[in-house]
Structure 1
Amino acid sequence: MVRINSAALLGSAMIGLSSAAGAGTKAEYASGEVHHRIMGIKMAQWEAESEAGLMDSARYPELGYTPCVDGFAAAIPGDVNNTFRCRNIDLYHFLSHEQLGSWGGRGSSSWGWTSADGREFVAIGQYDGTAFAEISKEGKLVYLGRLPQYDSIGSNWREIRIVGDIVVIGSEAIKHGVQFFDMKKVLDLDPANPKNFTQADLTGHWDELPVGRTHNIVVNHELNYAIACGSVGGNATIRVRDELPCRGGLIFLDISDPTNVTSPGCAAGDGYVHDAECLVYRGPDARYYGRDICYGYNEDTLTIYDVTDKNGNVTNIISISDYPGAQYVHQGVVNNETWQEYLFLDDEFDERDAKVGPMTQGLPTTHIFDIRDLENPVYTGYYAGKTRSIDHNQYIVGGYLYQSNYGNGLNVLDVSSVTKDPTGAGICEAGFFDIYPEDDEEEGGGKVQFAGSWSSYANFKSGFVFVHTIERGSFVVKMTSKECPKAPVCNADNCLRALRANSVPGRLEESVEFCGNFTTRQRTEESLLPEYASKACVENNNKKPVERVSSACACIPTPVVPELPRTTTRPPVPTVLPPKA
């Protein structure tokens, strides 16, 4: 039975919110028009960044260990574009795309692998292939070599997952297919002489996709299979979903013998699947305990499948759900693989186009579903980030939600409260590392754009977190604490009194605006202080005026991020993607 759950029926979580038109009509989602538009916007932006030199690896030097001190990691002191906003996370190392062997740059997906003897490696998606690096015990990235793209051109989209020792690589490029590569081949490589692998080094290659492209790769680690999803037909400029047997849905890959990959069938019943998480179900819904369940992120819905039977093109859909303001249901993750009760979901277009909820402010919004009844998921609430950005990918490690949120970089959320308070009100940010300082002084602390971090991997025993970016390259960071922020201690000294003086009309409002701008960068110049602060915040107890003002600003109300303008008309797809025939 398929249960369809509409946001209009979701109860108390919807108070103050209502359903609003998504990024297109149902037919426009089904045809691929919505996805075509989003890809066009991304490509137009990346081409503009390239023309502005932001994709040039030469502008991004290698960076070494830099602690996060007073909210900033100043990797190059005085250089605003190499000083990163942070909390509870230190920088250990950064290498550019060029230093990771790429001529094309443009980072995408990445995944981690731990060898049998405990060494930690990453497979790194780039325009022109997959780079391999080891993370040393000191947190250094050691470049070892690369596997080139299977196609002749390259792609902005390269998706990577690892099952056991086998890395599975898909791409949006025509004729790419799915590559299978044994990570053990990198164990003995000499970093002084990086290895350029060839297609002959592949363990296997599956070439039965409609035209060789797939938007995403999904794996079930426990059951040892893979999925190609978002695989459509057409050519380099036209994407076609109609009349395909799998319609861009879940294409199952039997990888028990990675030298001879086969497909037993696909699940096409709800059409295109952008991403999915497939797990053996362990949770309170006894009807499905032990079944193979896929949580599908299907552009305009959360669709839950029972994929226990993968033979033949048969689809068993358990439920289909939407939520208020849904624009492009992108990716998500359950709260606990061993007891699946709640699900966190990101929407890649709601910060830009949604007309309800905190997304209208351009704040990255994590949506929460109660999935204790798989046939009737319930939207229970959300968590909104603090600075403007778009959310992209997220994973649970040890009860913490690690998010790659484009310009915000890495955000780590403590989501342990959700089982007791599923509204999201108890979620807090345990740490963050902003890898894209270029937009820090924008209104709202960032820009709603597809720039910055694409992916991250946090499942290393060492605690190192790998963060991969589109423009720059790759970061290795590590959390120093997972303690959520506490309310600042606000001593009403002369400095703080001056900033919020009620006796001066408009003074508090002036200070709110000043502090909102002042704290976006690491400041040292006293000349930046307003006269009233300079006079009141003189050096005291060895704290210089700038330090005293920074402390006082923590006790001033945070500026409200205003709503972004929304339009009722949708612009045409940028011409960087030729129009559909």
Structure 2
Amino acid sequence: MFATNLTFSQISKNVTLFGQLNPEPIHYAGSWGWTSPNGEEYALIGAFTGTSIISIDDSLNIHEVDFITGPSSNWREITVLNDYAYVVTEGSGFGEGMQVISLATLPDSVSLVTTFSQTFGKAHIIGRDIYSDSNYVYVDGTQTLGGVHILDVSNPANPIEVGDYSPYYIHDSHIRGNRLYASAFYNGTLDIVDISDKTNPTLITQISYTNPFTHSCWTSQDETHLFVTDEEDGTPARIWNIEDLNNIYEVAQYSANFQSLVHNPYILGDFVYITHNTEGLRIVDIADPSVPIEVGFYDTYSGPSGGFHGLWSAFPYFPSQKIIGANRADGLYIFEFNQIHAGRIYGTVVDSLTDIPISNAQITIGETGRTTTTDNNGFFKIGELPSSEEGFLLGYTLNFSANGYNTKSLTDNVLSQSDSLFFEIKLVDISVPVSESSNLPSLIKLEQNFPNPFNPSTLINYELEIENYELAKLVIFNTLGEKVKEFSLTETKGSVVWNGKNDFGKEVASGTYFYQIKTDIFSQTKKMIFLK
């Protein structure tokens, strides 16, 4: 699926500006954050002549606490491990190398502990595994090896290089456990590397695609998907399923505006926080990575789209949920996001007489214009912000059309946060007489189960306003689409109790399950969680 933003005139949506500071009005690049033991939050941003450390707790008193000078450069990148910041730049001259800065004496000041320059002086970027306490940093794009230097910083005053991955130039890398995801900018690949032995990184596999310019990447929270960006105007970000490294495949693409490049992604929970250069900060819901939906943005650049202006970097990992970013021209931006989730709609479109799937049928959400098409199996998936949040209190209108068929519209489809609605749509061939009521959906009311999450059992209430209701069924299935339990419905209004067991009486595993009321022409589905 491809997702793109549909609104270009607004400056923001679901994101507000907490504060801003421009400490050195020349040029900015990287940013990272640090939270002190007593909960004070600091932004670190890469300025033209050094690293600025900024207190961000009070929106009325955002101020620079200290500044560590380094070689002048438009590029300066930062990561933080424990109480130390590690800084690299492509600038040359006095102080060249990886700076190690102690943050332990904040809020008073910071101090430069050492500058590591034994194996490189200039570098493009630096990172670490934010999902563990591993005492390693990874330095990419150096003027010596060009690849990734792996440094043990167990003793921050004495970093030790223990290995490297340098088959060619590596522009950026994402580290997760024993894997290194390396963006091979000029090689046109995304390398997945085993770093369980950091002295001997070993290539596992590569992702390649047409016209690649692999710039950076980040894994989903569960590490089943990889969000990859290309640093070139007109190219989308791509989302890859990496559950099976022997069968990696693309599931979706995203761009807010093809005139601008998607720069850097940072993932936390269900959201990708994207620095989209001239389009500013973009926040995309990837609860279902195959249906990425933009749910928030803040435009930091008022000029034309395209090129290397605007928001360079971001950091969404503060306990307070603040998001910081370094805007190239005017420094630090601090954002707050209302954490809104998208809803999603899935379904099939088939011929009303033969039930043969209709491929390339078009599905449009009438009120927003978002569109998708069915695949060869007649399946579609589409998402949108909750209908009430968009001002459509009665819900969305879904329009279904295909060549040779009468158009069908379903009105008043209320879409809430995190919804997963399912529709089975039957289109009537234009040569077949259509009764006046054939375009009206059957009415099903399916309530959210209670309790949810649940153990050992949960109650599901339903209401049917259809003829032949005795033909309706309530089916429970897992995230693989496999049927777990089926109930026949004997009343137009009633309830079902599920005890967490399948049709064979065996208790199912903990996790997410879907429950669906299904008739011959309509269905509705909701999600629930079973906990042991």
TM-score surpassing 0.5?
yes
Do structure 1's residue 268 and structure 2's residue 166 form an aligned pair?
yes
Shift of 1:87: 0.4
Q: Which among 84, 88, 91 is matched to residue 17 of structure 2? A: 91
Aligned to 2:311: 453
Task: Please give the residue correspondences for 1:166-565 in structure 2 after superposition, counting only pairs within 5 Å.
Answer: 166-175=84-93, 176-189=96-109, 201-210=111-120, 212-221=121-130, 222=132, 223-233=134-144, 247-269=145-167, 271-280=168-177, 292-299=178-185, 300-311=188-199, 314-326=200-212, 328-336=213-221, 339-349=222-232, 351=234, 359=235, 365-386=236-257, 388-418=259-289, 422=290, 426-439=291-304, 447-484=305-342, 485-486=385-386
Distance 1:116 1:204, change over 3 A: same
Aligned equivalents of 2:392, 2:223: Cα separation in 1:
41
Deviations 1:341-383 (A, max 9, x none): 10001100152xxxxxxx3xxxxx2201111122442223312
Do structure 1's residue 115 and structure 2's residue 58 form an aligned pair?
no
Task: Please give the residue correspondences for 1:1-12 in structure 2 after superposition, counting only pairs within 5 Å.
Answer: none
Q: TM-score, normalised by structure 2?
A: 0.60
In structure 1, runs of 5+ residues without a counterpart are 1-12, 15-69, 73-83, 190-196, 234-246, 281-291, 352-358, 360-364, 440-446, 492-581
SS of residue matched to 2:105: helix
Greater relative contact order (Cα < 8 A, sep 6+): 1
Deviations 1:91-136 (A, max 9, x none): 222222xxx2x2x620000100111111100111011000011111
Distance 1:266 1:481, change over 3 A: closer
In structure 2, runs of 5+ residues without a counterpart are 343-384, 394-532
Deviations 1:409-452 (A, max 9, x none): 1001101012xxx3xxx21111100011223xxxxxxx221101
Task: Please give the residue correspondences for 1:34-113 in structure 2 after superposition, counting only pairs within 5 Å.
Answer: 85-96=11-22, 100=23, 102=24, 105-113=26-34
Distance 1:459 1:315, change over 3 A: closer
Distance 1:136 1:296, change over 3 A: same
Deviations 1:169-195 (A, max 9, x none): 000012510001111233224xxxxxx
Do structure 1's residue 142 and structure 2's residue 63 form an aligned pair?
yes
Aligned to 1:131: 52
Distance 1:157 1:386, change over 3 A: closer
Contact 1:325 1:350 in 2 (8 A): no
Aligned equivalents of 1:297, 1:468: Cα separation in 2:
22
Shift of 1:399: 1.7
Aligned to 1:159: 77
Shift of 1:489: 5.7
Greater displacement, 256-265 / 374-383 = 374-383
Aligned equivalents of 1:218, 1:399: Cα separation in 2:
22
Distance 1:88 1:139, change over 3 A: farther
CA RMSD of aligned residues (A): 2.4
Aligned equivalents of 1:262, 1:202: Cα separation in 2:
17
Distance 1:173 1:144, change over 3 A: same
Shift of 1:317: 0.3
Q: Greater CA radius of gyration, 1 or 2?
A: 2
Distance 1:375 1:208, change over 3 A: farther
SS of residue matched to 1:159: strand
Q: TM-score, normalised by structure 1?
A: 0.55
Contact 1:141 1:476 in 2 (8 A): no
Contact 2:29 2:313 in 1 (8 A): yes
The one-letter amino acid of 2:169's match is Y
Shift of 1:160: 0.4
Aligned to 1:18: none
Aligned equivalents of 1:206, 1:449: Cα separation in 2:
33
Aligned equivalents of 1:410, 1:139: Cα separation in 2:
22
Aligned equivalents of 1:342, 1:480: Cα separation in 2:
24
SS of residue matched to 2:288: helix
SS of residue matched to 1:226: strand
Aligned equivalents of 2:331, 2:161: Cα separation in 1:
34
Aligned equivalents of 2:260, 2:43: Cα separation in 1:
26
Aligned equivalents of 1:139, 1:398: Cα separation in 2:
29
Q: Could you say which structure has the higher strand fraction? A: 2
The one-letter amino acid of 1:330's match is H
- Counting matched residue pairs gives 339
Aligned to 2:414: none
